[in-house]
Amino acid sequence: SFELTQPPSVSVSPGQTAKITCSGDALPKQYAYWYQQKPGQAPVLVILKDSERPSGIPERFSGSSSGTTVTLTISGVQAEDEADYYCQSADSSGIFVFGTGTKVTVL
Amino acid sequence: QVQLQESGPGLVKPSETLSLTCSVSGDSITGYYWSWIRQPAGKGLEWIGRIYSSGSSTYKPSLKSRVTMSVDTSKNQFYLKLISVTAADTAVYYCARGLLGELLNWGQGTVVTVNS
């Protein structure tokens, strides 16, 4: 199976933009998904198929893809966005893989 | 809206079998993929495997020899069995629903500790 690599942490001031990257060799061929997880809670899907936003997810969350890297962007970061973020993808046989996770700290 | 609820023993002895149930309410279990994911305390998410409502399953290769998933459409439930557990299997276990590659809806998670 493949691996997905994320930076361990990202720090951002309120109102600024946070960018979280996820790198993996399979990403040019497979969609990526992003999840937000707050302490003590289950993950929540915030981006699907690289750049689509599920119903109910604020517009400040967006996703993009370029080659072997996908990026989750949080524009106009709010204090409530402080959380762990995980990317996820699947290989051609349907094996899912999660990224290593990124802790977003709002300063 | 769909809701998922994990249930099962919170404590399992080493070398024994971990058995969990995910009960689905608010929608039919038919026509979706159902996954199990776990998360050791302070660590990242690990996908265990998934099962389609028809019973077809896919497992993480490193766990495949120990994992069995099943589904009961009449009860709107699906199940996880993990044999020969060790302390490394201690984690919060989540069940989740998806259509294709995503995990759209999640249960709240259940803590399973492996300890004698």
pLDDT digits (tens, 9 = 90+) for A39-76: 999 999 999 999 999 999 999 999 999 999 999 999 99
Q: Is B102 helix (H, G, I), strand (E, B) or coil?
A: coil
Residue among B37, B104, B107 whose CB faces A45 most closely: B104
Which candidate, B76, B9, B22, B87, places its Cα nearest to that of B50?
Answer: B22
B60–chain A Cβ distance below 8 A for any pair:
yes
For residue B99, the model assigns a pLDDT of 87
**Left if phi > 0, otherwise alpha if psi is -120 to 50, otherwise beta: which for B85?**
beta
B103–chain A Cβ distance below 8 A for any pair:
yes
Share the mean pLDDT of chain A.
96
B104–chain A Cβ distance below 8 A for any pair:
yes
Residue among B37, B61, B103 whose CB faces A95 most closely: B61
Residue among A41, A44, A101 whose CB faces B44 most closely: A101
pLDDT grade for A32, boundaries at 50, 70 and 90: very high
- Whether the per-residue pLDDT at A15 is higher than 90: the answer is yes
pLDDT digits (tens, 9 = 90+) for B50-82: 999 999 999 999 999 999 999 999 999 999 999
Question: With an 8 Å Cβ cutoff, are B102 and A48 in contact?
Answer: yes
A54–chain B Cβ distance below 8 A for any pair:
yes
**Left if phi > 0, otherwise alpha if psi is -120 to 50, otherwise beta: which for B75?**
alpha
Question: With an 8 Å Cβ cutoff, are A31 and B101 in contact?
Answer: yes
Q: Which two tokens stand for residue A28?
A: 């040019």
